[in-house]
Amino acid sequence: MKEIKKLLARQSDKILPDETVKENIRRELGMEETGASLAYAHGGEKTEKRNVKKLLPLFAALLAVVVLLCVLLPVFLNRQGGQSPVLDNKFDSITDADSFYAYGAASVGAILDSAGTGGTSPQIRTAAASVSPEQGQIDTINRYLSLAESLLSDGSIVGESIAGGEGYGYGMNVLYTDLLGNTVSYTLYYDKEFLSGETDEEEREENYAITGVLLLDENTQYPVEGNYQTETDGEESENELYFKAYTNAARTSYIEVRQEHESETEDAETETETEYVYSVYAQGALTERIAVEYESEEGELELKMTITGSGVRDELTFRSGTDSGESVLFASGTVNGESVRFRVYIREGKYHYVFEDGSSSDHDRYDDDEEDDDD
């Protein structure tokens, strides 16, 4: 309280009302200086002046407290109660082939890391009889938490050019920051082929393909390929963007990410939504499809994730924040046909789940710093 008083004293000229505001307060409350007239018993009148000067400091103090709360309350909430930080939509930074391939390498790499595949196809929707429905829900969610982390963390996904390696002519270090502030990095070596390109007034075309390998660490790598094809003619545009990582030697199992657009016209205004769709194939058959898109809810940026596979459609919405100083993902939606709402505390090497009924569960989180220790 002493600190608040000191702050009010220093900022009084900015916070406290000036004479115009005071006069408006008096007028609105009917508190004119002349006040009411009192009649004496023997005749005559006396005008009573109300003690306005004593009331004005009270109103000024109340107003100052309101202003101060408006300024400080968001700060306190951010420290204590899970307010989301200001985040960037990472899709907005995908403007050319290099930025798309950096995004593809980072997001596909995050899925492969969380699957812990060690160079084999991810185990998607394992229908083991020994797995409880609750465990099945967490297993589904846990596979994609690292992807949610990469898209809800602060900062952009960055692709830094490096010398080629592994027999390829070009290289790229792909970097992003996780929700604990740690830097996650992968390496992409590739050959690129410029297939076609043209610029003519409002018409522009670019077609650019790559083949290479994605290295998650020194011992784990995946063959990759990609294509970046865009065609713009005035206000119309067509894109075909994909990045694919193969997870078996026969190249019949892989994870692919594609950019997809959806346009909706209402009241002569066209709104375009962009989402990135991840398809998981095992032995040539599609086993799972994950669509991710950003949504703005009351000024907060959220990530919506829709997972479809084996006749089941799960929908989860994530937002990042803090709770008692810990980094948290707040999630809600439906999993296996049931409504869920929970928090996931992001800790070194662990995801700590806390559900609405108070139950909790700990699960492994990929952590680059502890990978060698775990081995």
pTM summary value: 0.70
The residue extents of the domains of the chain are: 2-80, 90-374
pLDDT per position as a tens digit, 87-111: 678 898 898 889 999 999 999 999 9
Q: What string of pLDDT tens digits covers the 375 residues of the chain?
A: 444 444 445 545 544 555 665 566 566 555 554 444 444 444 455 444 455 455 555 555 555 544 444 444 443 343 334 444 456 788 988 988 899 999 999 999 999 987 654 434 444 444 334 445 566 667 778 888 889 988 998 888 999 999 999 999 999 999 999 999 999 999 999 999 988 777 776 677 778 899 999 999 888 999 999 999 887 776 666 778 999 999 999 999 999 999 987 655 566 565 667 889 999 999 999 999 999 999 887 778 899 999 998 888 999 999 999 999 999 999 999 988 888 899 999 998 899 999 888 889 898 886 544 444 433
Query: Which residues on adjacent β-strands are paired with residue 236?
Result: 233
Q: What is the pLDDT of residue 53?
A: 54
Q: pLDDT (tens digit, 9 = 90+) per residue, 230-267? A: 877 766 667 789 999 999 999 999 999 999 876 555 66
Q: Which residues pair with 319 in a beta bridge?
A: 330
| pLDDT (0 to 100) of residue 51 | 53
**Beta-bridge partner residues of 305:** 292, 316
Provide the pLDDT for residue 19.
Answer: 62
> How crowded is residue 186: how many other Cβ atoms within 10 Å of its Cβ?
23
What span, in angstroms and rounded, lies between the C-alpha atoms of 35 and 312? 75
Contact 33, 55 (CB under 8 A): no
Q: Are 120 and 304 in contact (CB under 8 A)?
A: no
> What torsion, rounded to 10 degrees, do the Cα atoms 323, 367, 372, 364 define?
80
Query: Crossing angle for the helix pair 145-152 and 97-115, nearest 10 degrees?
Result: 140
State how far the Cα of 113 lies from the Cα of 237, in Å rounded to an integer.
34
Per-residue model confidence as pLDDT tens digits over 275-305: 899 999 999 999 999 999 998 877 788 999 9
